[in-house]
Amino acid sequence: MGKQYLPNLAHKDEMLKEIGFGSIDELFSDVPKEVMHEFNLPEGKSEYDVFLEMNQILDKNKTVLEMPSFLGAGTYFHYVPAHVKYLIERSEFLTAYTPYQAEISQGMLQALFEYQSLIAELVGLEIVNASMYDWGTALGEAALMAARVTKKNKFVVPKHLSPEKKKVLETYVAGAGMEIVYVDWNEKGQLDLEKLKESVENAAGVYIEMPNFFGLIEENIVEVGEIAHDGKALFVVGVDPTILGIVEAPGELGADVVIGEAAFFGNPMNFGGPRAGIFATKNDKKLIRQMPGRIIGMTKDTDGKRAFVMTLQTREQHIRRAKATSNICSNEALVAVAAAIHLASLGPQGLRKLGEIILKNTAYFKRRISEVAELPFDGINFKDVLVQFEVPYDIIHERLLEKNIHGGYYIKPHFPELGESALFAVTETTRKEWIEKLIVALKEIIAEAGL
């Protein structure tokens, strides 16, 4: 099957003859006979059969449209306007590759330059690359870059970091032999500055997130940057960019490097991928030279007309090989373009409004959830809220699911000190009825548990 994609099947013999081969087998005469292998695989099917089969498999998934969900913890249900999907599915974008031939790829190059430009405005830094794989790998790359720039090998991060990012970071720096130091949170669920000061000596970089893993806005972000700089470390800020309509650009708060997740704009959750990591730095040659990833620049053509091209490539693997700043080659270009289209559609008013809606919805959720559970940390939350229960959370989760509600992300396995806690998240997509249903259900479950 699949003959519909293989035009020359119809000309096999004629073509073989034209080039003087007797059979297809002759084309494979260089393959050692003793290891040749016939696939033990099912035969192909018609497009319709596969369409049906894939639909049947997918039908076993229950989406967040079919059951109110309060999951967040690094992936959020945002609504993506319909036009974004139609535009990135234009096959001139979709079926192209990396714009090696700039003259025939101006569309993608300009779209990526605009992505870099939009992110630069958001984060308040001049230099942005055309994407990393995701936020987690951007964190790994930022740690490696900090080590190269400062020639030190310790990287300081909050202990309240998502388990995903922790694991990616640790794997990324293992080869370089870097040490990752985790700094505790304080009673407000924010980075403990005193403990940070103790860890900063000899650090290549200090990392903080806005909002942090508990969904809290870190109030002392500027002070954290100052501590980092006093210790001659790079200040790296990780940001959920959907907050940047209401919270100051990290570049204005002292960040040398900003990373984050671009796919929160313009892309559905897709079970966690694809995504696109933001990577931005100050306009400082020392930093640019050590930056990972592809970068698009503006230049001109021979007629003097504005044109775009991949630039500063001497950092990259195809030229530098073992000495490259990163091994990344294919990136997440189309995800980045989708994010750019969404951002351009939001504009300054939309982005501000989106941030305000999420902030208000989160505040409303906190008020309602505190009717039935404890909130260990007081502060301003954006999307995620840490909620503590007296009833074991696995019971709550199970009972909620029976009532067709998906609760939050149970974090005890990763942070045992927080007890029966889960991160519940809301966004602009969360409906009042969902929260109502959740609170009613939780009241019932807690009453049944006899507490």
Partner 1 sequence: MYRQAKWDEPLIFELSKPGRVGFSLPDPIEDVEVDIPEKLKRKKLELPELSEPEVVRHYTRLSEMNYGVDSGMYPLGSCTMKYNPKINEEIAGHPKVAFIHPYQDERTVQGALQIMWELEQWLKEITGMDRFTLQPAAGANGEFTGVMIIRAYHLDRGETQRNEMIVPDSAHGTNPASAAMAGFKVIEIPSNEQGMVDLEALENAVSERTAGLMLTNPNTLGIFEEDILEIAKIVHKAGGLLYYDGANLNGILGKVRPGDMGFDVIHVNLHKTFSTPHGGGGPGAGPVGVKDFLKDYLPVPVVEYDEENNRYYLNYDLPKSIGKVKEFYGNFAVLVRALTYLKIMGKSGLKEVSEIAVLNANYLTQKLKGTRGYELPHKELRKHEVVFSAEPMKKETGVKALDVAKRLLDHGLHAPTIYFPLIVHEALMIEPTETVTKEDLDYYVEVLKKISEEAYSNPELVKSAPHNTAVRRVDDVLAAKRPVITWRMYKQLKEKGEIDI
Ligand X SMILES: Cc1ncc(COP(=O)(O)O)c(C=O)c1O
**Which of partner 1, ligand X, none is residue 208 near (CB under 5 to 8 Å by kind)?**
none
Considering beta carbons, is residue 29 or 330 the nearer one to ligand X?
Answer: 330
Cα angle at 143 between 179 and 154, to 5 degrees?
A: 30
Q: What is the DSSP letter of 211?
A: S
Pairing relation of β-strands 257-261 and 277-281? antiparallel
Q: Residue 358 corresponds to which tokens in the numbers above?
A: 């999420």
Read off the amino acid at residue 196: L
Q: Residue 116 corresponds to which tokens in the numbers above?
A: 């870099």
Cα gap 424→391, rounded to integer Å: 16
**Which of ligand X, partner 1, none is residue 174 near (CB under 5 to 8 Å by kind)?**
partner 1
Q: Work out the end-to-end distance of the chain between its first and last CA atoms, rounded to an integer number of angstroms.
A: 62
Using the rule CB under 6 A, which residue among 95, 302, 330, 349 binds ligand X? 330
**Which of partner 1, ligand X, none is residue 145 near (CB under 5 to 8 Å by kind)?**
none
Nearest to 199 by CA among 225, 176, 181, 187: 181
Considering beta carbons, is residue 161 or 328 the nearer one to ligand X?
Answer: 328
The DSSP annotation for 216-229 comes to BPPTTHHHHHHHHH
Q: Is 349 in the site for ligand X (CB under 6 A)?
A: no
Nearest to 404 by CA among 365, 429, 437: 437
Residue with tokens 């984050």: 260
Considering beta carbons, is residue 333 or 346 the nearer one to ligand X?
Answer: 333
**Which of partner 1, ligand X, none is residue 447 near (CB under 5 to 8 Å by kind)?**
none
Neighbours of 319 (CB within 10 A): 10
Smallest gap from Cβ 178 to ligand X, in A, equals 23
Considering beta carbons, is residue 33 or 451 the nearer one to partner 1?
Answer: 33
Q: 429 with 358: CB under 8 angstroms?
A: no
Neighbours of 335 (CB within 10 A): 26
Smallest gap from Cβ 329 to ligand X, in A, equals 3
Q: 162 with 423: CB under 8 angstroms?
A: no
Smallest gap from Cβ 42 to partner 1, in A, equals 6
Considering beta carbons, is residue 101 or 451 the nearer one to partner 1?
Answer: 101
Cα angle at 194 between 192 and 197, to 5 degrees?
A: 110
Considering beta carbons, is residue 316 or 428 the nearer one to ligand X?
Answer: 316
Smallest gap from Cβ 49 to ligand X, in A, equals 30
The DSSP annotation for 375-435 comes to -S--S-BSSEEEEE-SS-HHHHHHHHHHTT-B--EE-TTT-GGG-SEEEEE--TT--HHHH
**Which of partner 1, ligand X, none is residue 47 near (CB under 5 to 8 Å by kind)?**
partner 1
Smallest gap from Cβ 101 to partner 1, in A, equals 5
Cα gap 381→388, rounded to integer Å: 15
Q: Is 329 in the site for ligand X (CB under 6 A)?
A: yes
Considering beta carbons, is residue 101 or 194 the nearer one to partner 1?
Answer: 101
Considering beta carbons, is residue 227 or 328 the nearer one to ligand X?
Answer: 328
Smallest gap from Cβ 437 to partner 1, in A, equals 13
Considering beta carbons, is residue 102 or 449 the nearer one to ligand X?
Answer: 102
Binding to ligand X in span 173-212, by CB under 6 A: none
Smallest gap from Cβ 234 to ligand X, in A, equals 26
Considering beta carbons, is residue 10 or 329 the nearer one to ligand X?
Answer: 329
Smallest gap from Cβ 412 to partner 1, in A, equals 14
Cα gap 451→440, rounded to integer Å: 16
Q: 263 with 242: CB under 8 angstroms?
A: no
Report the DSSP beta bridge partners of residue 238. Answer: 209, 259
Smallest gap from Cβ 370 to partner 1, in A, equals 13
Q: Is 100 in the site for ligand X (CB under 6 A)?
A: no
How big is the site for ligand X, counted in residues (CB under 6 A)? 2
Smallest gap from Cβ 181 to partner 1, in A, equals 17
**Which of ligand X, partner 1, none is residue 255 near (CB under 5 to 8 Å by kind)?**
none
Binding mask 417-436 for ligand X (x = CB under 6 A): --------------------
Q: Where on the chain is the footprint of ligand X (CB under 6 A)? A: 329-330
